[in-house]
Chain A
Amino acid sequence: MKLIEWLSQPWPWYVGGPLIGLMVPVLLILGNKTFGISSSLRHICAACIPAKIPFFQYEWKRELWNLFLVTGVLLGGVAVALFLHDPAPVKVNPHLAAELQQYGITNYDGTVPIQLFSWHNLLTTRGLVMTIGGGFLVGFGTRYAGGCTSGHSIMGLANLQMPSLIATVSFMAGGFIVANLVLPWILKL
Chain B
Amino acid sequence: METLKKTKDVKPRIFLSENTDFEVRSLDAESYNKSELQHPFYYNVKYLFVGVFFGIVLVKSEVISWFRIQEMFRLQSFHMYGVIGSAVIVGMLSVWLIKKYKVKSIYGEPIQFVSKRFNKGNIYGGLLFGFGWAITGACPGPLFAQIGTGATVISVTLLSAIFGTWVYGRIRPFLPH
Q: Which of A18, A79, A111, A166 contacts B86 (CB 8 A)?
A: A18
Q: Which of A28, A77, A80, A171 contacts B126 (CB 8 A)?
A: A171
Q: How far is the CA of A163 from the CA of B121 in the complex (A)?
A: 10
B25 touches A30 (CB 8 A): no
Which B residues from 135 to 177 make CB contacts under 8 A with A? 135-141, 143-154, 156-170, 172, 175
Q: How far is the CA of A7 from the CA of B57 in the complex (A)?
A: 11
Min CB–CB distance A134 → chain B (angstroms): 3
Give a binary string over B79-120; 1 marks a CB under 8 Å from any A CB, 0 the rest: 111111111111110110110000101110101111111110
Min CB–CB distance A2 → chain B (angstroms): 17
Min CB–CB distance A131 → chain B (angstroms): 5
Q: Which of B54, B66, B164, B172 contacts A73 (CB 8 A)?
A: B54
Residues of B that sit less than 8 Å from A by CB: 11-16, 20-27, 32, 35-36, 41, 43-74, 76-92, 94-95, 97-98, 103, 105-107, 109, 111-119, 121-141, 143-154, 156-170, 172, 175
The interface on chain A, measured as residues whose beta carbon lies within 8 A of the other chain's beta carbons, has a size of 139
Q: Which of B11, B64, B126 contacts A170 (CB 8 A)?
A: B126
Residues of A that sit less than 8 Å from B by CB: 7-8, 10-45, 49, 51, 53-66, 68-81, 84, 90, 92-93, 95-96, 100, 108, 110-113, 116-119, 122, 129-164, 166-180, 182-183, 186
Min CB–CB distance B27 → chain A (angstroms): 6
A36 touches B23 (CB 8 A): yes
B91 touches A158 (CB 8 A): yes
Q: Which of A44, A131, A173 contacts B160 (CB 8 A)?
A: A131
The majority secondary structure among interface residues of chain B is helix
Q: Which of B66, B77, B80, B88 contacts A158 (CB 8 A)?
A: B88
B63 touches A28 (CB 8 A): no
Give me 11 other A-B pairs in contact (C-beta within 8 A), A30-B47, A144-B175 excluded: A10-B60, A13-B80, A18-B89, A23-B54, A59-B26, A72-B51, A78-B148, A138-B143, A167-B125, A176-B130, A182-B131
A77 touches B89 (CB 8 A): no
